[in-house]
A and B are shown apart, each in its own frame.
Chain A
Amino acid sequence: MTITTQPAVRFGLRLLRGPTGAVLIMAATFVLAALTFFAINGRESISLFQEMVMGAFGDGYSFSETLVKTAPILLTALAVALPARLGLISVGGEGQLYLGALFGTGAVLAAVDQPGWLLMPLMLMGAMAGGALWGVIPGLLKTRLGVNETISTLLLNYVGVLLVSFVVHGPWKNPNSLGWPATIEFPQGAILPQFFDTRVHMGLIFGVVAAIMLHILVTRSRWGLGLQVSRSNPRVGATAGISYERNVLIVMAIGGLLAGLAGIAEASVIQNRLQDGLASGYGMTGFLVAWLAGQHFLRIIPLSVLMGGLLASADSLQLYAQLPKASADILQALLFIIVLAVASLWPNRPKA
C-alpha cells in the first residue's frame, strides 16, 4: 500500500496542487530567501527573522504601526487594480497620492479658519479631486490621443512629486519654519480621526470599505460587467452600448481619487503638514500589492497588511540589526519576484 492511497494524504496532495499549495510554496520560498539574505549579511538569520515578525505583528504598538503603513498601500493598490480590470496598466498611484495631498492641503490652507465640520469635508473633497485629476489626465490622453497609459502615469508621478516640492519650497512654505520646506501645521479640524490612541486613521477604513464596494461593483453589477466586456473585446462592448472611453475615464478617476485620499491622510495624520518625501514610495508598493493580489480587490486587503508589516519591520531591522533601511525594499522585491515566478510555474495558477 502506498502512502498516497490514504484519504487524508490524497486530500493534502490535492490541496497542494491548487492555489493553496502555490501560496505555501511562495511563503516558504520567501522565508528561505529572506533567511539567506540575512545570512549573507552575516546576521543570525532565524532570530532576525523572528525579530522582523515581532516588529510587524508582535504587540499592539507594532501592529498599529503596521496598519498605519497598510492604509496608503491599500488605497494605492486599489488605484492600480481598478484600471487593471479594464486592461489598463496604471503605475500612477504615487503621483495621484501626491496630487491628493496637494489639493487637500490647498483646501485646508484656503479654509484654514473654518470649523472642522466644514474644513474636513473640504479637505477630503480637494484630495479626491486632485487624485482624480491625475487619473483622468492619462485617461484622456489615452482615449483622445492614444497615448500609452503606463508611460503617461509613470511620467506624471514625477510631475506630481515635484509640484508638491515646488509649493512647499515656494508659495506655501511656512514663514516660521526657519527655512524648513513645509507648509504650516494643519489645524486640529483638519486632522483625520484616529483610533485607540494610535496613529491608525480613517484612511484604513476608507480603503477597506472601498475594496469591498469595488469588489461587489466589479463582480456583480452591470457596470462591472461592462468593464469585463470592454476589456475582453472593446468593439463588441461598443456594439452593446458600452463605452470603453467613458469607462477608462471612470476607472482612472476612481483610482486616482482613492490614491488621493491616501495622500491627504499621510499629510494630515502622519506629517501634520505637507512636505517633501511625503509618501516614501507607497505608490510603487501599492502597484506591487495589486499585482501580487492578481488585481483581486479582497485579496489586496490582507496583502496590504503583510506589506505594511514588512515596511514597519524595516524600522526594527535598522534598530536591532543595524541593517540599512533599504533592506525592506530588497525583501519586498524578493517577495514580488518569488510570487510571480512560483505563480507562473504552477499548473492551476492563481490568476496574477
Chain B
Amino acid sequence: MEIQLYNITKRFGEVTANDGISLDIREGEVIALLGENGAGKSTLMKMLFGLYTPDEGSILVNGRETLIDSPQKAMSLGIGMVFQQFNLVPALSVLDNLLLAYPRPPFWTFRRLFGEGASQQNVLAYLEELAPGLDPNTLVRDLSVGQRQLLELVKVLNLNAKVLILDEPTSVLPPQEAERLWGLIRKMAEAGRSIVLITHKMQDVMACAHRVVVMRAGKMVQALTRENCSEASLVSLMMGDSSQRSDIDTHRDPDLAGKPPRISLRGLHANHGVQSIDNISLDIGPGEILGIAGVSGNGQHLLADALVGLVPLSRGEVIIDGVVLQSASRAPKTSDRVAYIPEQPAVNAVAGDLSLTVNVALSHFRQLRFFPAWGPEEEKTRDIIRRYQVRPDNPALGAGQLSGGNLQKLVVGRELEGPRDLIVAAYPTMGLDAGAAHDIYQALFTKAREGAAVLWISEDLDDLMSYAHRIAVLQGGRISGLFNPDQFDRLDIGRAMTGEHLPTADPAPAEPQARIAS
C-alpha cells in the first residue's frame, strides 16, 4: 500500500502546526519523522489516522484521493497508530485486552467453558510472534512498560494494519528494550509493512529508519536517506541554526563548586502506595543541578514528595545547611525554603478554580496575615506574569483557564520567587512545547546559580545529559548509579536504569548523626 500526503496544512487558531507538508510512504519502508517536541510530527500523523482533518492538501491512498475523517476509516484502510499514552485496561489480562480491541469482538467468549476458541488463536497469533514467552493470561498491570507497548503493537497488527504509525515508541523504554523494538520494526518492514516512526531521538533513526524526514516548527526541513545523513547533521537540521539547547547557561559558579553540600539525603526510606524508596543517600552542593534519571515508576515521585514534606520518611533524614528538614522521627513538614515544581501543574501545583493571585500567594501561605491584604499579592502576581510572559495576563483569572505551558511558567515564577535552599523539579517540562520548556529550564538554572541546590527528575536522558551537573539513576527505589559528566554514557546509564548491575559507587551511609538546630 502506498500513501502520499500532498501539501498538507493544519492550523490551530493562530498556530500553524503543519505548513504545506508532502510525504510519500512506501511499502516495506521505515520512515522516521524526526523533530523536537512541538515540531508538528504527531499532528501530521494524526491527520493520516483520521483524528484531525487537514485544512488544506490531500491524502492519496494507492493513488486515489481519500478522505480519512475518523480512526475507524483509517483502520479500515489498513492504517494503525500506537500512541504514547497506552490504551489498555490494567485489571484485565493480555488476552482480554486483545479481544476487546479486536474488530467485532465476540460478545461472549466462553473462554473458561470451552477452552481455546478459534478467535483466540487469531488474536494471539501476533503476540506469539512478537513476545513468544508472554502468557496471555497475565494481567496487564503486571507487565513492564515494554511489554505493554508490544501489546499495543499487537492490537494494531490484529487490525490488519499495513501502515503502522508509532508515536515516540522508545521514549518510555530502557535502552535494551528499545533495541528489541528496533529489531521488530525492521522485521515488520521486511514483511512488507510501512512504518512511520515519530521520534526525536537520533538512536531510533540510526537503528532502523530507511528514510528520515526532519520537521521543525511545523515545516518539513529535509528528507534524506539514512546513508546520506549523520547524527550531527540531523541534530542541526532538527534544532535549526540557533540550537536552543546550547543557549541555556548551565555552568556552575566555580566559587560554589568547592563549597560543602547544602542538601544531604541520609539513608532515606519511605513507602507510599505501591512505590517505595530504599536507602537513598545523596549530597547536592550549592548551585548544583543533580539529575535523577530512571524509567518512570521507580520511586521518583515518592522521592520528590518525601523531600518536599508531603510523605513521611520511615528512616533517614534530609539535612539542609546542617539543619534537619525532614526526619523519620517526626511528622513531615513543608518549608517555604523548598521550591517544588511538579509535572502537570494543573493537577499538582495549582488550585484550578482559584485565581492566579491566590495561587501565587500559596507559596508563602504561612506568611499571609490572618486577613490577607490582596493588593500586594496581586502586584506580585502581575510581576511574575510580566517576567515569565504568562498568557493571558489577567491575575484574576482562574488558574484552570491557562494552558499547561503558561501555568507551568506561573508556577516556576512562584516557586523561584524569594530565597530558596532546595528546588525539587519533577518532570517540570512534561507535555510542554519546546519554547516553554526552554524558558522553564532557563529560569530554573539561573536560580541555581544563586546558590540553591537543584534536584531535577526527568525521563529524558538527552536533556539530563546536556544540562545536569551529575546524574543519579533511580531503579526499584534505589540509587543504582551515580555519574559525573565525564562518565555520561547512554549505555552505562541505561544499564543502571534497568538494574543490570548495581555499582558499588554509592557506599552505605554512615549512621545519620545530624545536629538538630533548635
Contact = CB atoms under 8 A, between A and B. Distances in A.
Determine if chain A interacts with chain B. yes
Contacts of A229: 351, 354, 358, 362
A226 B365 contact: yes
B334 A225 contact: no
A319 B362 CA distance: 58
A239 B307 CA distance: 11
A233 B352 contact: yes
Interface string A219-234: 0111101101100110
Contacts of A223: 370
Contact of A222 (B333, B350, B354, B368): B368
Identify whether the interface residues of A are mostly helix, strand, loop, or mixed: helix
B186 to A, nearest CB: 44
Given A222-B365, A222-B370, A222-B372, A236 B334 contact: no
A241 interface: yes
B370 A221 contact: yes
B222 interface: no
A241 B350 contact: no
A228 B351 contact: yes
Contacts of B368: 222, 225
A228 B334 CA distance: 19
B455 to A, nearest CB: 16
Chain B interface SS verdict (over half): loop
Interface residues of A, number: 18
A71 B217 CA distance: 66
A236 B349 contact: yes
A235 B310 contact: yes
A192 B412 CA distance: 56
Contact of B340 (A220, A221, A239): A239
Nearest to A235: B348
A236 B348 contact: yes
A242 interface: yes
A237 B363 CA distance: 10
B362 A236 contact: yes
A185 B202 CA distance: 89
B330 interface: no
A337 B362 CA distance: 39
A225 B377 CA distance: 14
Interface in B330-370: 333-334, 340, 347-354, 358, 361-363, 365-366, 368-370
5 contacts: A221-B372, A225-B365, A225-B368, A237-B351, A239-B310
B432 interface: no
- Best-surrounded residue of A220, A228, A233 (most CB of chain B within 10 A): A233
Contacts, number: 57
Interface in B134-164: none
B440 interface: no
A240 B349 contact: no
A228 B340 CA distance: 21
B325 interface: no
A238 interface: yes
Contacts of B371: 220-222
B365 A233 contact: no
B308 interface: yes
Nearest to A237: B351
Interface in B345-404: 347-354, 358, 361-363, 365-366, 368-372
Contacts of A236: 348-351, 362
A233 B372 contact: no
Given A222-B371, A226-B365, A239 B351 contact: no
Interface of A: 220-223, 225-226, 228-229, 232-233, 235-242
Contact of A233 (B310, B333, B351, B361): B351
Nearest to A233: B351
B410 to A, nearest CB: 13
A221 B333 CA distance: 22
Interface in B419-478: none
Nearest to B398: A232
Nearest to B351: A232
B325 to A, nearest CB: 14
B369 to A, nearest CB: 7
Contacts of B370: 221-223
Contact of A239 (B308, B354, B372): B308
Nearest to B362: A240
A236 B369 CA distance: 20
Find the residue from B351, B354, B366, B369 having the highest chain A CB count within 10 A: B351
Interface centre among A220, A235, A242 (most CB of B within 10 A): A235
Nearest to B358: A225
A106 B177 CA distance: 72
Given A221-B371, A222-B368, A223-B370, A240 B350 contact: no
Contacts of B334: 238-241
A232 B352 contact: yes
Given A225-B372, A241-B366, A232 B354 contact: yes
Question: Which 9 A-B residue pairs are closest in the complex by CB-CB distance?
Answer: A232-B351, A240-B362, A240-B365, A233-B351, A229-B351, A222-B368, A241-B334, A232-B353, A222-B370
Contacts of A222: 365, 368-372
Q: Which of B352, B366, B368, B371 has the most CB of A within 10 A?
A: B371
A77 to B, nearest CB: 24
B310 A241 contact: no
A240 B309 CA distance: 10
A236 B351 CA distance: 7
A254 B310 CA distance: 27
A242 B349 CA distance: 14
Q: Output the residue of A220, A226, A232, A235 with the most chain B CB within 10 A.
A: A232
A233 B350 contact: yes
A236 B342 CA distance: 10
A31 B350 CA distance: 44
Nearest to A216: B371
Contacts of A232: 351-354
A71 to B, nearest CB: 29
B272 to A, nearest CB: 13
